[in-house]
Structure 1
């Protein structure tokens, strides 16, 4: 019978460890006994009786080898189960501590009750109260995810150990192995007793569930997964940026080598036997995959300072997805997403590919610098707020070549699907941290439609700016689950904005949207700011448009220039 929360809270790893230690002593005794007894030759004894004795001796030796294999397997499995139950204990503590810290109470059936709640009379507006309630519900949901993870882990350990004991040991399967000697039998058992690493929840898991999984692992388990399964964590929303960057760095190196070798192999295969399938794979790797990987290697490479010294980059690779036949997807951050006070996530749009991502990453670097400079100039005293910017291209941005397909820029289909993934990424930033940053969504061109779709879901985003938008899939800002204000920028000469209806309604006409200027202006410190023209100058350095984005990121309304 599966364990429930009340039972899982009583689980302890120590008894398993004690039994494993006892079995290790038994295992050593059996091996030594076998070597002592069966290491002796029968001498010169011959005849029928000697033959029968020899046969019986071999049967006893095989039987002892089988027992050694079984004891060794159970001992190894109990050791692994002990480590796993320690992880269950850690997951239980994580849920209980989180509940205590946030005024929650976990019932015996695992239900999370909000004892503290909120006093809605303390809010000045219904919007503020609604945002606070959403934040509070997110806290309850995260605690529930931690409870679910502890129970899920307990079920996993129970099922894994049962499968070994019942399916291998008691069934006699292990006894059918042929060992060459007693040490070999011991090694066979230890190998058979290995339990699989505790893997992540299913792909549809929420960021909070992913975070609960990772936080519930023991340090030893985390290290094993880092070394052996970086693919489990590289793109998993809810895990820290540092962890994801480390995993993606490993995968980037691995993928670059693999696809370079694969291109050579396919070239030789095509020369020997030219087929359409081989040609298509070759062209895909040559024209899509390797240019994208080379660009990511370039973007994330260590920097060389003015003295010629190699210094670590401030860029983090938070996502890397390669699906056969599709365009490569990636997520690149500038700054420390795990610790920054302000985090802005930018989603680019039409015609963007990873091979062209360098320009946007540079623009996000400029925006980070602009925002932090603005914060230092206006902060007055104390530590200036830190900023991290993220370029999120974890979707198939429409291309000219896909206009007539389901991936068309003239349809909101891709935006709606990608919006769900973007909302998870937003949530994952908050779920991976002990404190939530001021989180801002930025969307340009078709990326604004993706941003708008994401904001119709609970995402934890505090403010958003869309610019050069062809339309958002909403009628009013009330349809957004946004904790703050939606801003819009439309530059003179931008012919790709407007209410075409293809991707939704023009944010220039959506009630409740604050319209920001893009023309020439002067900053509060007296710096002249240039105008943005057309569809592609919104992020240019030292423009009114860029300065407005920085002001939203830094929560400095006085710096905003509204459209007249």
Structure 2
């Protein structure tokens, strides 16, 4: 079960498992399930609707089948669904163990390098690292037992929940097991504390009529709830956008009328000035909302990326929230989430959306056979000044970013999980780093750090995914280097950090306090950085390899 060991610390051999072969097996099971149910990869609907296509394929009239034959067919589809999910979960478990093992070996090598040549690494350090490895190994062996039992006897409720949380079972697929595992559904309405996979299972357990009733009764809850399908959230948030435009228009009209009705006096002039200031702020916010509504319409002629947009969140209270997807993440093969940094608020959505559009277009240029979605995520309270030196904004954002990424997994409709990338610009990279290291974790295939002040980690192997899937770039003229190595740990483009560094244009020299204009030029059309990010999002190696700075 293990390979021979060549570890300097004396660890046992690595687990003898070929992750790519395991994933290939999962893909083959999934393809068989899609064939049996007559589904294309464009949708993952309930399998009973495929009876006609299945009859044509195998000359077995499922529509008129006896009850025991129908149960056999449904059992087969269930087995294929959780068989594929079990293999994908096991592959992920092996990768996580190997990432932890690599971290232990690196730390041992660092300790050995700091130890005088005539001495050995202190036994206390060695034993501590070996004990840490033993804990990870024991966890992997427990997961191996779970995988074996799931493949032999069907999954337990805990195994189903773990596979759903990892994004390897969709809500529709989980509904196959609803009668057997009713405890997976919430009692009554779900809320923000519920796992997105649970929310999605609840949504898919209802009839269309029941869903319509929920939409009418609870739009405020559902429009921002991770695990609700993107198309549903989009419609609810567009309705909310219209309501917000109307509300602000009415507030402005009322304030203007208040000014007209106010008698002339010295005190009245002060009140009028204050009202005018309020009107000015409301007009600015109203302009943002109108621009957002226009930007959500069908792409105009000459638009960079022609896929439909989805408004996944909108909240205008305080710093608010605004999340827009370029392309449907529920049906995309590749999904990118861009996390902006300092000064991001809901009012910045109009200036941030072109960055998402640029990311989507570059990924599509790399692989035009794949469907791509790039998301602009203003989903946290970003620092509004150089108080970004503090990590508490990033710590506070962890639960929301983690939940959003889990929601993308839960609502994904294709048989195979999408290839997900999270991109953090400036302080947004710090948010990603803290989320990845938090108790919530960050479910993505790649992390990308752009113009980063640091991610709260001294090495890429602390972030929970293989180091080869972590990327970083910094422009030569980006003065963010004034902030790295201070409050948020080392520069992620440094050799010591261990990420793959890719090229960016040098950028404009000087200008704009505090980090220069180059700090905001990474996403401009034609910049090497956004071109390279397109390759990362698409999961394709660039023609000449990654260009190190």
Cα pair distance change 1:121/1:496, threshold 3 Å: closer
Q: 1:296-324, CA deviations, whole angstroms, 9 ceiling, x for partnerless residues?
A: 21221234448xxxx9961111111232x
Match of residue 450 from structure 1: 431
How far is the alpha carbon of 1:151 from its aligned partner?
4.0
Cα pair distance change 1:476/1:150, threshold 3 Å: same
Cα pair distance change 1:441/1:119, threshold 3 Å: closer
Match of residue 320 from structure 1: 314
1:262-301 equivalence runs, <5 A? 262-268=251-257, 282=278, 286=282, 289-301=285-297
Match of residue 334 from structure 1: 326
- Do 1:295 and 1:355's aligned partners in 2 also have CA atoms closer than 8 Å? no
Once residues 368 and 285 of structure 1 are traced to their aligned partners in structure 2, the CA distance between those partners, rounded to angstroms, is 33
Structure 2 stretches of 5 or more lacking a match? 1-73, 102-135, 148-157, 166-170, 263-267, 507-515
What TM-score, normalized to structure 2?
0.61
Match of residue 162 from structure 2: 141
**Pairing 1:476–2:459 present:** yes
Q: Secondary structure at the match of 1:535?
A: helix
Q: 1:309-340, CA deviations, whole angstroms, 9 ceiling, x for partnerless residues?
A: xx9961111111232xx123200111121111
1:94-493 equivalence runs, <5 A? 101-103=81-83, 118=90, 126-127=98-99, 139-141=160-162, 150-151=182-183, 156=188, 199=189, 201-268=190-257, 282=278, 286=282, 289-305=285-301, 314-323=308-317, 326-376=318-368, 384-400=369-385, 403=386, 408-434=387-413, 435-456=416-437, 457-482=440-465, 485-493=469-477
Q: Secondary structure at the match of 2:328?
A: coil
How far is the alpha carbon of 1:490 from its aligned partner?
0.6
How far is the alpha carbon of 1:285 from its aligned partner?
5.6
- Do 2:457 and 2:488's aligned partners in 1 also have CA atoms closer than 8 Å? no
Once residues 153 and 140 of structure 1 are traced to their aligned partners in structure 2, the CA distance between those partners, rounded to angstroms, is 11
Cα pair distance change 1:319/1:281, threshold 3 Å: farther
Larger RCO, structure (CA 8 Å, separation 6 or more): 2
Once residues 297 and 291 of structure 1 are traced to their aligned partners in structure 2, the CA distance between those partners, rounded to angstroms, is 10
Q: 1:179-219, CA deviations, whole angstroms, 9 ceiling, x for partnerless residues?
A: xxxxxxxxxxxxxxxxxxxx3x1222221122122122222
Q: 1:222-259, CA deviations, whole angstroms, 9 ceiling, x for partnerless residues?
A: 01122343222211111221111111111111111122
Once residues 322 and 239 of structure 1 are traced to their aligned partners in structure 2, the CA distance between those partners, rounded to angstroms, is 21
Q: Secondary structure at the match of 1:210?
A: helix
- Do 2:523 and 2:530's aligned partners in 1 also have CA atoms closer than 8 Å? yes
Once residues 124 and 424 of structure 1 are traced to their aligned partners in structure 2, the CA distance between those partners, rounded to angstroms, is 20
Cα pair distance change 1:96/1:209, threshold 3 Å: farther
Match of residue 46 from structure 2: none
**Pairing 1:553–2:525 present:** no
Cα pair distance change 1:424/1:116, threshold 3 Å: closer
Once residues 555 and 115 of structure 1 are traced to their aligned partners in structure 2, the CA distance between those partners, rounded to angstroms, is 21
Once residues 293 and 121 of structure 1 are traced to their aligned partners in structure 2, the CA distance between those partners, rounded to angstroms, is 44
- Do 1:345 and 1:442's aligned partners in 2 also have CA atoms closer than 8 Å? yes
Match of residue 543 from structure 1: 527
- Do 1:104 and 1:140's aligned partners in 2 also have CA atoms closer than 8 Å? no
Q: 1:18-63, CA deviations, whole angstroms, 9 ceiling, x for partnerless residues?
A: xxxxxxxxxxxxxxxxxxxxxxxxxxxxxxxxxxxxxxxxxxxxxx
Match of residue 133 from structure 2: none
Cα pair distance change 1:355/1:464, threshold 3 Å: same
- Do 2:321 and 2:346's aligned partners in 1 also have CA atoms closer than 8 Å? yes
- Do 2:501 and 2:546's aligned partners in 1 also have CA atoms closer than 8 Å? no
Match of residue 53 from structure 1: none
Match of 1:516 among 499, 502, 510: 502
Structure 1 stretches of 5 or more lacking a match? 1-93, 106-113, 157-198, 377-383, 521-531
Q: 1:483-523, CA deviations, whole angstroms, 9 ceiling, x for partnerless residues?
A: 66111101011002342423443212353211112248xxx
Once residues 83 and 371 of structure 2 are traced to their aligned partners in structure 1, the CA distance between those partners, rounded to angstroms, is 30
Number of residue pairs aligned between Structure 1 and Structure 2: 390
Which aligned runs of 4 or more in structure 1 are off by greater than 6 angstroms?
A: 94-100, 114-117, 119-125, 128-138, 144-149, 273-276
Q: Secondary structure at the match of 1:203?
A: coil
1:526-537 equivalence runs, <5 A? 534-537=518-521
- Do 2:321 and 2:380's aligned partners in 1 also have CA atoms closer than 8 Å? yes
Once residues 441 and 117 of structure 1 are traced to their aligned partners in structure 2, the CA distance between those partners, rounded to angstroms, is 20
Cα pair distance change 1:425/1:116, threshold 3 Å: closer
CA RMSD of aligned residues (A): 4.2
Once residues 75 and 443 of structure 2 are traced to their aligned partners in structure 1, the CA distance between those partners, rounded to angstroms, is 21
Which has the greater radius of gyration?
1
Once residues 448 and 197 of structure 2 are traced to their aligned partners in structure 1, the CA distance between those partners, rounded to angstroms, is 26
- Do 1:99 and 1:143's aligned partners in 2 also have CA atoms closer than 8 Å? no
Once residues 253 and 491 of structure 2 are traced to their aligned partners in structure 1, the CA distance between those partners, rounded to angstroms, is 48
Q: Secondary structure at the match of 1:478?
A: helix
Once residues 194 and 281 of structure 2 are traced to their aligned partners in structure 1, the CA distance between those partners, rounded to angstroms, is 31
Once residues 540 and 88 of structure 2 are traced to their aligned partners in structure 1, the CA distance between those partners, rounded to angstroms, is 32
Cα pair distance change 1:209/1:154, threshold 3 Å: closer
- Do 2:233 and 2:312's aligned partners in 1 also have CA atoms closer than 8 Å? yes
